[in-house]
Amino acid sequence: MSYDFFIEIVQGALCIATFGLIGSVVYKMLAGGIPLSGLLAGRADRKTQLERIPALAAAIVLSAIYLAHCVIDAKAVAVPRALPDAEPWMLAAALASQALYLGGKFFRS
Query: What string of pLDDT tens digits covers the 109 residues of the chain?
Result: 677 778 778 888 888 998 899 999 999 988 988 887 777 776 666 777 788 888 889 999 999 999 888 888 777 776 667 788 888 999 999 999 999 989 988 887 7
Domain span holding position 2: 1-36
In whole angstroms, give the CA distance from residue 8 to residue 5: 5
φ, ψ dihedrals at 77, nearest 5°: -115, 155
Contacts of 74 (CB under 8 A, 6+ apart): 80
The model's pTM is: 0.67
Instruction: Please tell me whether residues 106 and 58 are part of one structural domain.
Output: yes
**Contact assessment for residue 25 and residue 34, using Cβ atoms and an 8 Å cutoff:** yes
Instruction: Please tell me whether residues 53 and 2 are part of one structural domain.
Output: no
pLDDT recorded at residue 44: 65
pLDDT recorded at residue 1: 61
**Total structural domains in the chain?**
2
Compute CA distances 25 → 35, 56, 66, 68, whole Å: 11, 17, 20, 20
